[in-house]
């Protein structure tokens, strides 16, 4: 006999949920609700400031426009980063940087459009300081309601039934917790291992299981059927697809364990052949071009803007110690193509060979002026020239000396994947505090994990976010010695 287990056994539990429609609507309304709150906070800050200073509320419509611009930039910056984990997106640190970046974008647009004088600095400052904590309070309350609704099933985005072997169903429930993703499991159909065999007895058992599942779907008007069967059991999978094709329901084939290794998996066609894509190049040709355009434009502007600082640094280096102003060293670039990185000389030595000792805290090789150049990352500015030449990018995995690359390639799996994208002046690892000497393998592993995450989740807004953190985050200057 087929083992059929209903998670919700009552007729009411299997009946269509009215809040299901509400749950789907909330997933679409969330960004709009945040935007309306930000607009409201802008209006509130503007009215409060003008009432306190001028004893009149001022032009409410102008405050609403500022709030709308902030909400727009915050949404655009939030879209990819954007690759950041859900936990990180909910953190106060992430929200602070997102809020600050949105204000910087708003001020930049206002300056270019010559409308920055329209709004008082007091209003903008009050909006910036008070808006984030109030927005976080709103989001905390909103998310608490949604979280409770999802866990209780009142705001279910989807309702479905699980069909599969006992161990696969248990693994799916434990590893993926479908309720937290909006799938309320209204029932399960456990298929015995014997039903996977292409035999008369196996076909009979599978037919009985599918009959129970079909009846459950029709009775409860479920949205999804998740097949949790081994992919190698092609006969059983085909039989399930044939039987469930006659029911208006979405049928999904559950994940295999190997999927956990790959961040992006999708189907593609090569002529008539349908294939499962496991790995793709980090950037498409269009993405490479867009990143190159961003790099070239920003690098050229930054090099022109910082040229007086570079000239002053060059003079101080010559006065401070004998030797060249610039230090060049071989590094690996895209696809492990060697290139010479350019830095301001900050040490008495210019090592570039099979033995290179990393800089340490209070390193005696660092010159007096070199200490300050390294402390504030000024020694990295000449790498803007590497960016213009196309050897580097503004953002990417930091390149290491060749001898260190050879060492860690032997010790750390997938270390060489760092070279699947151009190295950067700054990177996701650096703004998360992974800087300085890698005197232990664990430190390098942590840096590599951040680099691979960046490669798998690259986007233009992600680059802009990292550049903003490079200038604003204290972590970007940690362990700089």
pLDDT at 359: 73
Sheet (strand 158-164) strand order: 3-5, 183-190, 158-164, 224-228, 250-253
DSSP, collapsed to helix, strand or coil, labels residue 435 as coil
Token pair in block for residue 417: 């994947």
In DSSP terms, which residues pair with 242 in a beta bridge?
A: none
- Domains in the chain and their CATH numbers? 3-8+156-261 (3.40.50), 19-151 (no CATH), 285-477 (no CATH)
Instruction: Tell me how far apart the alpha carbons of residues 217 and 404 are, in angstroms, rounded to a whole number.
Output: 59
Contacts 24+ apart (CB under 8 A), 383-390: 383/341, 383/342, 383/343, 383/425, 384/299, 384/302, 384/303, 384/306, 384/425, 385/303, 385/342, 386/339, 386/341, 386/342, 387/295, 387/296, 387/299, 387/425, 388/296, 388/299, 388/300, 388/303, 390/292
Contacts 24+ apart (CB under 8 A), 374-377: 374/346, 374/480, 374/481, 375/477, 375/480, 375/481, 376/477, 376/480, 377/476, 377/477, 377/480
pLDDT at 87: 41
Per-residue model confidence as pLDDT tens for the chain (481 residues): 444 443 333 333 333 444 444 444 455 567 788 888 999 999 999 889 888 888 888 888 888 988 998 988 888 776 544 444 444 455 677 788 788 888 888 887 777 666 655 667 788 889 989 988 888 888 788 777 766 766 665 555 678 899 999 999 998 988 887 877 778 888 889 888 888 888 888 888 898 888 888 888 888 888 889 999 988 888 899 999 888 888 888 899 988 877 777 766 777 788 888 887 777 778 888 889 999 999 999 999 999 999 999 999 999 999 999 989 999 999 999 998 999 999 999 988 877 766 677 777 777 888 999 888 988 889 999 999 999 999 999 999 999 888 888 888 888 888 988 999 999 999 999 998 887 777 788 888 999 999 998 998 888 888 988 998 888 877 776 766 5
CB 278 within 8 A of CB 265: yes
Instruction: Tell me how far apart the alpha carbons of residues 430 and 428 are, in angstroms, rounded to a whole number.
Output: 6
The 10 Å Cβ neighbour count of residue 475 is 16
pLDDT at 299: 94
Token pair in block for residue 443: 């430190």
How far from the centroid of its chain's Cα atoms is residue 393's Cα? 19
Instruction: Tell me how far apart the alpha carbons of residues 195 and 234 are, in angstroms, rounded to a whole number.
Output: 12
Spatial CB neighbours of 430, under 8 Å, sequence gap ≥ 6: 398, 470, 476
Instruction: Tell me how far apart the alpha carbons of residues 454 and 466 are, in angstroms, rounded to a whole number.
Output: 10
pLDDT at 185: 85
pLDDT at 470: 87
If you write DSSP's letter for every residue of 363-426 in order, what string do you get? -TTB-HHHHHHHHTTGGGTTHHHHHHHTS-EEESPPP-BHHHHHHHHHHSTTGGGGGGS--EEE
CB 413 within 8 A of CB 407: no
Residue with tokens 């611009």: 69
């Amino acid at each position: 006999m087929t083992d059929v287990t209903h998670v919700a056994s009552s007729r009411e539990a299997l009946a269509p949920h009215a809040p299901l429609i509400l749950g789907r609507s909330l997933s679409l309304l969330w960004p709009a609700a945040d935007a309306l709150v930000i607009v409201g906070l802008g209006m509130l800050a503007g009215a409060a400031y003008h009432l306190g200073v001028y004893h009149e509320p001022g032009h409410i419509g102008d405050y609403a426009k500022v709030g709308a611009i902030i909400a727009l930039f915050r949404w655009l910056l939030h879209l990819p980063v954007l690759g950041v984990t859900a936990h990180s997106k909910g953190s106060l640190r992430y929200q602070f940087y997102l809020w600050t970046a949105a204000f910087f974008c708003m001020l930049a647009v206002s300056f270019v459009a010559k409308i920055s004088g329209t709004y008082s600095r007091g209003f903008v400052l009050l909006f910036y300081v008070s808006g984030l904590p109030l927005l976080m309070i709103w989001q905390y309350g909103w998310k608490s309601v949604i979280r409770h609704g999802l866990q209780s099933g009142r705001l279910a985005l989807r309702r479905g039934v699980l069909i599969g072997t006992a161990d696969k169903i248990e693994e799916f429930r434990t590893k993926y917790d479908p309720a937290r993703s909006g799938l309320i499991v209204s029932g399960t159909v456990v298929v015995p291992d014997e039903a996977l065999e292409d035999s008369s007895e196996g076909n009979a058992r599978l037919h009985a299981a599918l009959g129970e599942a079909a009846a459950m779907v029709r009775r409860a008007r479920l949205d999804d059927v998740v097949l949790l069967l081994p992919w190698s059991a092609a006969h059983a999978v085909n039989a399930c697809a044939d039987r469930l094709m006659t029911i208006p329901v979405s049928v999904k084939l559950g994940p295999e364990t190997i999927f956990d290794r790959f961040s992006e998996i999708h189907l593609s066609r090569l002529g008539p052949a349908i294939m499962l894509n496991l790995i793709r190049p980090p950037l498409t040709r269009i993405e490479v071009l867009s990143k190159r355009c961003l790099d070239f434009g920003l690098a050229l502007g930054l090099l022109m803007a910082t040229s007086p600082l570079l000239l002053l640094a060059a003079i101080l280096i010559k006065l401070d110690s004998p030797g060249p102003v610039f230090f060049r060293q071989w590094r690996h670039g895209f696809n492990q193509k060697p290139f010479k990185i350019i830095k301001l000389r900050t040490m008495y030595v210019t090592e570039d060979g099979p033995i290179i000792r990393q800089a340490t805290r209070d390193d005696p090789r660092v010159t007096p002026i070199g200490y300050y150049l390294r402390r504030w990352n000024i020694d990295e500015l000449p790498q803007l020239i590497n960016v213009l030449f196309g050897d580097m990018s503004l953002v990417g995995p930091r390149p290491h000396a060749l001898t260190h690359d050879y060492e860690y390639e032997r010790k750390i799996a997938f270390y060489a994947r760092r070279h699947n994208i151009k190295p950067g002046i700054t990177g996701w690892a650096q703004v998360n505090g992974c800087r300085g000497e890698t005197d232990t393998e664990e430190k390098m592993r942590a840096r590599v994990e951040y680099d691979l995450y960046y490669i798998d989740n690259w986007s233009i807004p992600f680059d802009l976010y990292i550049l903003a953190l490079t200038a604003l985050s204290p972590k970007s200057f940690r362990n700089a010695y």
